[in-house]
Amino acid sequence: MTTSDDEAAQWWATSITRIAPGEIDHRGVPVEELIGRTGFVEMIWFMVVGGTPTPSQTRLLEAALVAATDHGPQAPSIAIARMTVTCGVGLNGAVASGVNALGDVHGGAGEQCVVMLDDAIARVADGESWDDAAVAIVDEHRRRSAYVPGFGHRFHPRDPRRDPLLGLVSEAVASGDVPGRHLEAALAFERALDRPGRRPVPMNIDGATAVIYGELGLPAPLARGLFLLSRSVGILAHAWEERQSGVRNKGPLPRTVLPAYRPGPEAG
């Protein structure tokens, strides 16, 4: 290999996978030692994060992945995948467009919530109380936006995924498997958001999984990254269901209803 081949090879250097004829290693482990021995959830951790999770870590990650697969066709990502698959593209195209919609607003709350939890933990490490830290951070968020990421749900007064997820985290804290500080932070935010005379604002799926990702020590952007893998399951399930329906060019409304026309300032 010449110097300049080497430069091209280095341009694409990676720690994740090495191939040679007849050989594939992932992070230094031959793939044939992984197949049949490593679970898919451990494999996700191994590939994305690196290293091998403990059984307790695997159990928490697995619960987070199971919990967030779907919320039905009102979610833009799901409707988009269902519509796309009726337009004559493969399942890959439909899943791609569904995943593409998981942006800052639709898929980003978990990532933003981990940042917020990390912030509270840092303040507490500096001597603040959990409740003071939570109130201060909520106030900052409220100044910029009506939303506190990870808390409250437009549709569910109490998100049914909150309790089982937090239950698993509590067990892992009790057995000393995870530190428990992201859980404490999140509960402090719930208290800070619970104001007399107002509807309570409990953790939603993004908040509860942010607690898990935080307890697992993962960087905030992976809260979105791992959510993508979870929601891809629901996106695929819906794309496949829709494809079997045989509908062509599915629009958002039944064919008997036309979008309204609202004359704009430019119309004559």
Q: Which of residues 134-163 bind its own copies (CB under 8 A)?
A: 154-161, 163
Task: Name which of residues 96 to 115 contact its own copies (CB under 8 A).
Answer: 96-97, 99-108
Binding residues for its own copies restricted to 160-179, rule: CB under 8 A: 160-161, 163-165, 167-168
CB of 253 to its own copies, least distance (A): 5
Q: Is 80 in the site for its own copies (CB under 8 A)?
A: yes
Residue type, 52: T
> Does residue number 79 form part of the binding site for its own copies (CB under 8 A)?
yes
* Residue 149 Cβ vs its own copies, minimum distance, rounded to whole Å: 11
Q: Which residues pair with 26 in a beta bridge?
A: 17, 29
Residue 92 as a binder of its own copies (CB under 8 A): the answer is yes
Please report whether residue 197 would count as binding its own copies according to CB under 8 A: no
Residues 6+ apart with CB under 8 A from 111: 210, 220, 221, 223, 224
The token pair at 36 is 């049949």
183 counts as binding its own copies under rule CB under 8 A: no
Site mask for its own copies (CB under 8 A), range 236-255, x = bound:
xxxxxx-x----xxxxxxxx
Site for its own copies in 1-40 (CB under 8 A): 1-32, 34-36, 38-40
24's enclosing H/E stretch is strand 23-26
CA distance 205 to 107: 11
Measure the CA dihedral 232/235/240/245, to 10°. 180
Q: Helix 40-48 vs helix 221-245: angle between axes, to the nearest 10 degrees?
A: 130
